[in-house]
Amino acid sequence: MRTLVIGAGIAGLTAALMARAEGHTVTLVTKGFGGLQLSHGTVDILDAERPLEEKDNLPEGHPYHLITANSIKAGVDTFASYVPLAGSCEETKIYPTALGALRRTSLVPVSMASGEITEGASYLLVGFSGLKDFYPLLAAENLSRQGVKARGVKIELTAPGDTALAFSRSLAEPGAAENLGRRLSELAEGEEIIGIPAVLRQSDFDNLAKVTGRSIFQIPLPPPSVPGLDANERLRAACQEARVRFFLNGQAVGALSEGGCITAVKVQIAGSIKEIPTDAVIYAGGGLESGAILFDSYRTLADTVFGLPVSAPTTDPAQILHGDYNGDPQPLFACGLTVDADMRPLNDKGEPAFANLYAAGGMLAGAQRAHEKSGEGIALGSAAQAVAAIVRSQS
Ligand SMILES: Cc1cc2nc3c(=O)[nH]c(=O)nc-3n(C[C@H](O)[C@H](O)[C@H](O)COP(=O)(O)OP(=O)(O)OC[C@H]3O[C@@H](n4cnc5c(N)ncnc54)[C@H](O)[C@@H]3O)c2cc1C
């Protein structure tokens, strides 16, 4: 079985690994990497206490009505087998953000796990003088206003640059993480849990945590995010190890079909168009955010690869983007492909457009991912459900 995946975001990379685990010959074509490397590295299923139970209360047309809890669990399990995570799909816990807001999520990188906000705990937030994007005194003050016991301290620490990445490289030098760990342990009082900005790769964080001798955690920063990059690199390395054929800088631009099935995908690579034969396609192009769906100056929506119909919550071009920045989520962000329970995009007649074309992640219509905090759950669940449908189609 030859499966071709379009896109290297969380949905495409995970789908590729799942299809490979089923014994498929997998080709992944992507014009670039996706949102994973910009993300916190956390896995949001839904902004609710019990996401898998509450997903069924979402409005009609939401993709979670088609994506089963078992698919979400299967996708998350695959992702977590490559990226060390703590937590569960069944529930959410609350963690502090870099500004001291409280954010709910289901699974977090292991280095963030001790940051769970729990009753009676007190937190020491430590920032570094040379690092932008993390102000420990402000974050601690904001937490205190919300009833969380916290104080902030800034220590002298610089790197050859003021970004998380510069600090990440500097703290990866032999002994650097351990030195910082010793300094941090001297700052904490009583039972304080130490929070630091997320600048360490998991292995460097482990070295630091060993010498502090107390609970310590990382707090996600704005992108580029070290935990997000870490997750992205782990999945990509896993694809290489699993011998997924990878075309970076390969943009899918169309397809050949016969008898209602796609037989090859046309991919623009290095100035020429290559036709890659395939038995099944998983379209994980990210939707509007990654350019697989276009919104033009006439407010028209179009699918750029297969010419599939794109649905949106409103067909009125004047309503699709409203001017109230702090108001309701923009209808535009819920645009995408309507799919059946096998994740196959539907044509204008409401039938699968192609028998062997499946969609996953940000391609699916009906979700306000950033607002609902459902993006990663939809991506992983739909990837798993699409791969399971391909496997069933073989039997
Ligand atoms: C600002 C912002 C904040 C967000 N915050 C949250 C949040 O807090 N919680 C949450 O759960 N979700 C959030 N989301 C949503 C979440 O980021 C997405 O749902 C998720 O990244 C979708 O993953 P994906 O793999 O489907 O797509 P992407 O990560 O977008 O990957 C798409 C891939 O497809 C490739 N591609 C596109 N077109 C083609 C083509 N023609 N040929 C080949 N390759 C192609 C791209 O290069 C990319 O590799 C946020 C999104 C945004 C924009």
Please tell me whether residues 250 and 367 are part of one structural domain: yes
Assess if residue 93 is contained within a domain: no
Q: Is the pLDDT of residue 270 over 90?
A: no
Mean pLDDT of 269-286: 96
Q: Is the pLDDT of residue 194 over 90?
A: yes
Please tell me whether residues 390 and 264 are part of one structural domain: yes
User: DSSP assignment of 55-106, as one string?
Assistant: GGGSPTT-GGGTS-HHHHHHHHHHHHTTS-EEE-TT--EEEE-TTS-EEEES
Indicate if ligand 1 lies below 6 Å from the C-beta of 8.
yes
Please tell me whether residues 252 and 275 are part of one structural domain: yes
Mean pLDDT of 140-156: 98
Indicate if ligand 1 lies below 6 Å from the C-beta of 307.
no
Please tell me whether residues 266 and 330 are part of one structural domain: yes
pLDDT in tens, 379-392: 999 999 999 999 99
Q: What is the CATH number of the domain that holds 374?
A: 3.50.50.60
Assess if residue 215 is contained within a domain: yes
Assess if residue 161 is contained within a domain: yes
Residue ending a domain, choose from 201, 219, 237: 219
Please tell me whether residues 241 and 388 are part of one structural domain: yes
Please tell me whether residues 272 and 355 are part of one structural domain: yes
Residue 187 is part of which domain span? 98-219
Residue ending a domain, choose from 219, 237, 272: 219
Residue ending a domain, choose from 219, 240, 263: 219
Indicate if ligand 1 lies below 6 Å from the C-beta of 276.
no
Assess if residue 388 is contained within a domain: yes
Mean pLDDT of 242-255: 97
Assess if residue 91 is contained within a domain: no
Buried b (16+ CB within 10 A) or exposed e, 300-312: ebebbbbebbbbb
What per-residue confidence (pLDDT) applies to 326?
Answer: 84
Q: Ligand 1: distance of its center to the CA of 35 in Å?
A: 5
pLDDT in tens, 201-248: 999 999 999 999 899 999 999 988 999 999 999 999 999 999 999 999
Task: Tell which atom from ligand 1 comes closest to the C-alpha of 362.
Answer: 26
Please tell me whether residues 212 and 279 are part of one structural domain: no
Indicate if ligand 1 lies below 6 Å from the C-beta of 150.
no
Number of domains in the chain: 2
Indicate if ligand 1 lies below 6 Å from the C-beta of 290.
yes
Assess if residue 224 is contained within a domain: no
pLDDT in tens, 310-352: 999 987 878 898 888 888 899 999 999 999 999 999 999 999 9
Q: Is the pLDDT of residue 141 over 90?
A: yes
pLDDT in tens, 31-49: 999 999 999 999 999 999 9
Mean pLDDT of 150-168: 97
What per-residue confidence (pLDDT) applies to 231?
Answer: 96
| Nearest residue (CA) to ligand 1, atom 32 | 286
Please tell me whether residues 241 and 383 are part of one structural domain: yes
What per-residue confidence (pLDDT) applies to 319?
Answer: 86
Assess if residue 14 is contained within a domain: yes
Q: What's the mean pLDDT when you consider all of the chain? A: 96
What per-residue confidence (pLDDT) applies to 61?
Answer: 95
Picking from 93, 13, 66, the residue whose alpha carbon sits closest to that of residue 364 is 66
Task: Tell which atom from ligand 1 comes closest to the C-alpha of 377.
Answer: 11
Indicate if ligand 1 lies below 6 Å from the C-beta of 5.
no
Please tell me whether residues 238 and 377 are part of one structural domain: yes
Assess if residue 92 is contained within a domain: no
Please tell me whether residues 190 and 112 are part of one structural domain: yes
Please tell me whether residues 178 and 240 are part of one structural domain: no
Indicate if ligand 1 lies below 6 Å from the C-beta of 12.
yes
Confidence of residue 299 (pLDDT cuts 50, 70, 90): confident
Please tell me whether residues 295 and 342 are part of one structural domain: yes
Q: Ligand 1: distance of its center to the CA of 75 in Å?
A: 16
What is this structure's pTM? 0.97
| Nearest residue (CA) to ligand 1, atom 26 | 361
Q: Inter-axis angle of helices 10-21 and 69-80, to 10 degrees?
A: 90
